[in-house]
Amino acid sequence: MDATGLMLYEGKAKKIFAAARPDQVIQYFKDDATAFNAEKRGTIVGKGVVNNMVSERLFMLLDEKGIPTHFLERLSDREMLTKKVTIVPVEVVVRNVVAGSLAKRLGLQAGEAIEPAIVEFYYKNDALGDPLVNDDHLRLMKVATPGVLRELREQAHKINAVLKPFFVERKMQLVDFKLEFGVFHNKLILADEISPDTCRLWDMATGESMDKDRFRKDMGKIEEAYQEVLKRVCG
Ligand code: TMP
Protein backbone atom coordinates (compact mmCIF):
# COMPACT_ATOMS: atom_id res chain seq x y z
CA MET A 1 0.00 0.00 0.00
CA ASP A 2 1.29 3.47 -0.82
CA ALA A 3 0.31 6.72 0.83
CA THR A 4 -2.60 8.38 -0.93
CA GLY A 5 -3.53 11.16 1.51
CA LEU A 6 -2.59 14.82 1.49
CA MET A 7 1.06 15.41 0.72
CA LEU A 8 2.52 17.98 3.11
CA TYR A 9 6.07 18.08 1.79
CA GLU A 10 8.29 16.47 -0.81
CA GLY A 11 12.00 16.18 -0.20
CA LYS A 12 14.78 14.65 -2.29
CA ALA A 13 14.37 11.13 -0.92
CA LYS A 14 11.06 11.18 0.95
CA LYS A 15 7.52 12.48 0.83
CA ILE A 16 5.59 13.45 3.95
CA PHE A 17 1.83 12.80 4.05
CA ALA A 18 -0.83 13.80 6.55
CA ALA A 19 -1.91 11.00 8.91
CA ALA A 20 -5.28 10.43 10.58
CA ARG A 21 -4.08 12.28 13.69
CA PRO A 22 -2.89 15.89 13.35
CA ASP A 23 0.17 15.26 15.53
CA GLN A 24 1.39 12.39 13.30
CA VAL A 25 2.65 12.11 9.70
CA ILE A 26 3.49 9.35 7.23
CA GLN A 27 7.02 9.24 5.81
CA TYR A 28 7.14 7.67 2.34
CA PHE A 29 10.60 6.54 1.17
CA LYS A 30 11.37 7.05 -2.53
CA ASP A 31 13.97 5.36 -4.73
CA ASP A 32 15.19 8.79 -5.90
CA ALA A 33 18.82 9.52 -5.09
CA THR A 34 20.67 12.82 -5.21
CA ALA A 35 24.18 13.90 -4.35
CA PHE A 36 26.24 17.09 -4.25
CA ASN A 37 23.24 19.25 -3.36
CA ALA A 38 21.11 17.56 -6.05
CA GLU A 39 23.55 18.29 -8.90
CA LYS A 40 23.64 14.54 -9.42
CA ARG A 41 20.33 12.69 -9.67
CA GLY A 42 19.41 9.07 -10.14
CA THR A 43 17.39 6.11 -8.97
CA ILE A 44 18.48 3.30 -6.72
CA VAL A 45 15.92 0.56 -7.31
CA GLY A 46 14.49 -0.72 -4.02
CA LYS A 47 16.27 1.93 -1.93
CA GLY A 48 13.03 3.26 -0.42
CA VAL A 49 12.14 -0.15 0.94
CA VAL A 50 15.65 -0.70 2.34
CA ASN A 51 15.78 2.73 4.01
CA ASN A 52 12.31 2.30 5.54
CA MET A 53 13.12 -1.15 6.97
CA VAL A 54 16.62 -0.22 8.17
CA SER A 55 15.35 3.01 9.77
CA GLU A 56 12.57 1.08 11.53
CA ARG A 57 15.07 -1.41 13.00
CA LEU A 58 17.47 1.32 14.15
CA PHE A 59 14.77 3.59 15.58
CA MET A 60 13.35 0.62 17.54
CA LEU A 61 16.82 -0.22 18.83
CA LEU A 62 17.41 3.38 19.95
CA ASP A 63 13.97 3.51 21.56
CA GLU A 64 14.82 0.36 23.57
CA LYS A 65 17.99 2.13 24.74
CA GLY A 66 16.02 5.13 25.99
CA ILE A 67 16.71 7.49 23.10
CA PRO A 68 13.48 9.19 22.02
CA THR A 69 12.68 9.11 18.29
CA HIS A 70 9.79 10.15 16.07
CA PHE A 71 9.16 6.55 14.95
CA LEU A 72 5.76 5.05 15.79
CA GLU A 73 5.06 2.17 13.42
CA ARG A 74 5.96 0.83 9.98
CA LEU A 75 2.82 0.92 7.80
CA SER A 76 4.06 -0.72 4.60
CA ASP A 77 7.28 -1.50 2.77
CA ARG A 78 7.84 2.20 1.97
CA GLU A 79 5.92 3.99 4.71
CA MET A 80 6.31 4.66 8.39
CA LEU A 81 4.05 6.51 10.80
CA THR A 82 5.92 9.09 12.86
CA LYS A 83 5.28 11.88 15.30
CA LYS A 84 4.88 15.22 13.51
CA VAL A 85 7.90 17.24 14.57
CA THR A 86 9.24 20.66 13.72
CA ILE A 87 12.64 19.87 12.24
CA VAL A 88 15.61 21.72 13.73
CA PRO A 89 17.51 22.91 10.61
CA VAL A 90 20.81 21.40 11.73
CA GLU A 91 22.40 18.30 10.22
CA VAL A 92 24.29 16.60 13.03
CA VAL A 93 27.18 14.52 11.66
CA VAL A 94 29.01 11.98 13.84
CA ARG A 95 32.39 10.70 12.66
CA ASN A 96 34.24 7.59 13.89
CA VAL A 97 36.64 7.37 10.94
CA VAL A 98 38.09 10.03 8.62
CA ALA A 99 36.23 10.05 5.29
CA GLY A 100 34.26 12.25 2.90
CA SER A 101 34.23 15.99 3.40
CA LEU A 102 36.38 15.80 6.55
CA ALA A 103 39.26 14.14 4.68
CA LYS A 104 38.93 16.72 1.91
CA ARG A 105 38.58 19.83 4.08
CA LEU A 106 41.47 19.05 6.44
CA GLY A 107 43.69 17.03 4.09
CA LEU A 108 43.53 13.99 6.36
CA GLN A 109 44.04 10.39 5.28
CA ALA A 110 40.69 8.60 4.84
CA GLY A 111 40.39 5.53 7.04
CA GLU A 112 42.09 6.96 10.13
CA ALA A 113 40.12 6.18 13.33
CA ILE A 114 38.73 9.12 15.31
CA GLU A 115 38.59 8.39 19.02
CA PRO A 116 36.53 9.76 20.67
CA ALA A 117 34.07 10.43 17.85
CA ILE A 118 33.61 14.01 16.68
CA VAL A 119 30.31 15.77 16.11
CA GLU A 120 29.83 18.47 13.47
CA PHE A 121 26.92 20.78 12.75
CA TYR A 122 25.80 21.76 9.24
CA TYR A 123 23.15 24.42 8.67
CA LYS A 124 20.35 22.66 6.73
CA ASN A 125 19.82 25.07 3.85
CA ASP A 126 19.89 23.89 0.22
CA ALA A 127 20.39 27.42 -1.18
CA LEU A 128 23.60 27.74 0.86
CA GLY A 129 24.68 24.13 0.22
CA ASP A 130 24.37 23.03 3.89
CA PRO A 131 27.45 24.87 5.20
CA LEU A 132 29.54 23.61 8.15
CA VAL A 133 28.82 25.89 11.09
CA ASN A 134 29.79 26.20 14.72
CA ASP A 135 27.71 26.86 17.82
CA ASP A 136 28.19 30.61 17.57
CA HIS A 137 26.91 30.69 13.98
CA LEU A 138 23.78 28.75 14.93
CA ARG A 139 23.22 31.06 17.90
CA LEU A 140 23.70 34.12 15.66
CA MET A 141 21.09 32.82 13.21
CA LYS A 142 18.78 31.94 16.12
CA VAL A 143 18.60 28.37 14.80
CA ALA A 144 19.42 26.83 18.17
CA THR A 145 20.28 27.95 21.70
CA PRO A 146 23.42 26.74 23.50
CA GLY A 147 21.19 24.43 25.56
CA VAL A 148 19.70 22.81 22.45
CA LEU A 149 23.16 22.43 20.88
CA ARG A 150 24.45 20.75 24.05
CA GLU A 151 21.52 18.33 23.90
CA LEU A 152 22.07 17.62 20.18
CA ARG A 153 25.72 16.81 20.85
CA GLU A 154 24.85 14.59 23.86
CA GLN A 155 22.18 12.69 21.94
CA ALA A 156 24.51 12.26 18.95
CA HIS A 157 27.20 10.63 21.13
CA LYS A 158 24.61 8.40 22.86
CA ILE A 159 23.22 7.28 19.48
CA ASN A 160 26.74 6.54 18.24
CA ALA A 161 27.40 4.43 21.35
CA VAL A 162 24.36 2.29 20.46
CA LEU A 163 24.80 2.10 16.68
CA LYS A 164 28.56 1.50 16.44
CA PRO A 165 28.55 -1.91 18.21
CA PHE A 166 25.26 -2.87 16.50
CA PHE A 167 26.96 -2.52 13.10
CA VAL A 168 30.16 -4.25 14.26
CA GLU A 169 28.06 -7.29 15.25
CA ARG A 170 26.87 -7.27 11.63
CA LYS A 171 30.40 -6.94 10.27
CA MET A 172 30.07 -3.31 9.21
CA GLN A 173 32.12 -0.34 10.33
CA LEU A 174 30.00 2.73 11.06
CA VAL A 175 32.36 5.33 9.59
CA ASP A 176 30.09 8.37 9.93
CA PHE A 177 26.43 9.31 9.80
CA LYS A 178 24.04 12.25 9.70
CA LEU A 179 21.16 12.82 12.12
CA GLU A 180 18.26 15.26 12.16
CA PHE A 181 16.25 16.15 15.21
CA GLY A 182 12.82 17.68 15.66
CA VAL A 183 10.78 19.29 18.39
CA PHE A 184 7.66 17.44 19.56
CA HIS A 185 5.68 18.90 22.49
CA ASN A 186 8.69 21.03 23.46
CA LYS A 187 10.99 18.00 23.53
CA LEU A 188 13.91 17.30 21.20
CA ILE A 189 13.62 13.87 19.55
CA LEU A 190 15.48 12.06 16.78
CA ALA A 191 13.70 12.36 13.41
CA ASP A 192 14.23 11.80 9.66
CA GLU A 193 15.91 8.43 8.87
CA ILE A 194 19.02 6.40 9.56
CA SER A 195 19.89 4.41 6.46
CA PRO A 196 22.62 3.69 3.90
CA ASP A 197 21.68 7.13 2.45
CA THR A 198 22.72 8.86 5.66
CA CYS A 199 25.53 6.61 6.95
CA ARG A 200 28.90 5.50 5.66
CA LEU A 201 29.17 1.76 6.22
CA TRP A 202 32.30 -0.18 5.31
CA ASP A 203 32.32 -3.98 5.09
CA MET A 204 34.69 -5.09 7.86
CA ALA A 205 35.98 -8.01 5.77
CA THR A 206 36.74 -6.15 2.53
CA GLY A 207 36.66 -2.45 3.43
CA GLU A 208 34.17 -1.88 0.61
CA SER A 209 31.55 0.88 0.80
CA MET A 210 28.01 -0.40 1.41
CA ASP A 211 26.22 2.96 1.26
CA LYS A 212 25.36 5.96 -0.88
CA ASP A 213 29.05 6.62 -1.61
CA ARG A 214 28.65 3.91 -4.28
CA PHE A 215 26.16 6.26 -6.00
CA ARG A 216 28.10 9.47 -5.27
CA LYS A 217 31.31 8.03 -6.72
CA ASP A 218 29.82 5.78 -9.45
CA MET A 219 31.26 2.66 -7.86
CA GLY A 220 28.64 0.27 -9.27
CA LYS A 221 26.75 -2.53 -7.46
CA ILE A 222 24.66 0.11 -5.66
CA GLU A 223 21.43 -1.90 -5.38
CA GLU A 224 23.39 -4.97 -4.26
CA ALA A 225 25.06 -3.00 -1.47
CA TYR A 226 21.73 -1.64 -0.18
CA GLN A 227 20.21 -5.15 -0.23
CA GLU A 228 23.20 -6.51 1.68
CA VAL A 229 22.80 -3.83 4.38
CA LEU A 230 19.09 -4.74 4.63
CA LYS A 231 20.01 -8.41 5.02
CA ARG A 232 22.61 -7.75 7.72
CA VAL A 233 20.46 -5.25 9.67
CA CYS A 234 17.02 -6.87 9.38
CA GLY A 235 17.73 -10.46 8.26
P1 TMP B 1 30.30 14.19 4.41
O2 TMP B 1 31.60 13.48 4.68
O3 TMP B 1 30.01 14.33 2.96
O4 TMP B 1 30.23 15.49 5.16
O5 TMP B 1 29.13 13.26 4.99
C6 TMP B 1 29.11 12.88 6.33
C7 TMP B 1 27.96 11.91 6.57
O8 TMP B 1 26.71 12.55 6.40
C9 TMP B 1 27.94 10.72 5.63
O10 TMP B 1 27.62 9.55 6.38
C11 TMP B 1 26.87 11.00 4.65
C12 TMP B 1 25.93 11.89 5.42
N13 TMP B 1 25.32 12.91 4.60
C14 TMP B 1 23.93 12.98 4.47
O15 TMP B 1 23.21 12.18 5.05
N16 TMP B 1 23.39 13.97 3.72
C17 TMP B 1 24.15 14.90 3.07
O18 TMP B 1 23.61 15.78 2.40
C19 TMP B 1 25.58 14.82 3.21
C20 TMP B 1 26.47 15.81 2.50
C21 TMP B 1 26.11 13.82 3.97
Domains of the chain: 7-83 (3.30.200.20), 86-221 (3.30.470.20)
Q: What per-residue string of b and e applies to 22-39 under the rule 16 or more CB within 10 Å gives b?
A: eeebbbbbbbbbbbeeee
Ligand 1 centre distance from Cα of residue 199 (Å)? 7
How many angstroms is it from 130 CA to the middle of ligand 1? 10
Written in H, E and C, the secondary structure of 143-208 is CCCHHHHHHHHHHHHHHHHHHHHHHHHCCEEEEEEEEEEEEECCEEEEECCCCCCCEEEEECCCCC
Q: Which helix (H) or strand (E) holds 87?
A: strand 86-87
Identify the bridge partners of residue 41 per DSSP, sorted by sequence position: 34
* pLDDT reported for residue 208: 98
Instruction: For residues 127 and 163, give the distance between their C-alpha atoms in angstroms, rounded to a whole number.
Output: 31
Q: Return the SS3 of 110.
A: coil
Q: What distance in Å separates the CA atoms of residue 70 and residue 57, rounded to the nearest whole number? A: 13
Q: pLDDT (tens digit, 0 to 9) for every residue of the chain, 235 residues total?
A: 445 689 999 999 999 999 999 999 999 999 999 999 999 999 999 999 999 999 999 999 999 999 999 999 999 999 999 999 999 999 999 999 999 999 999 999 999 999 999 999 999 999 999 999 999 999 999 999 999 999 999 999 999 999 999 999 999 999 999 999 999 999 999 999 999 999 999 999 999 999 999 999 999 999 999 999 999 999 9
The protein residue with its alpha carbon nearest to ligand 1, atom 2, reads: 100
Please name the residue whose Cα sits nearest to atom 8 of ligand 1: 178
Q: Does the Cβ of 102 fall within 6 Å of ligand 1? A: yes
pTM attached to this predicted model = 0.97
Rg (CA), the chain: 17
Ligand 1 pocket test target in 40, 93, 209 with most atoms within 8 Å of CB:
93
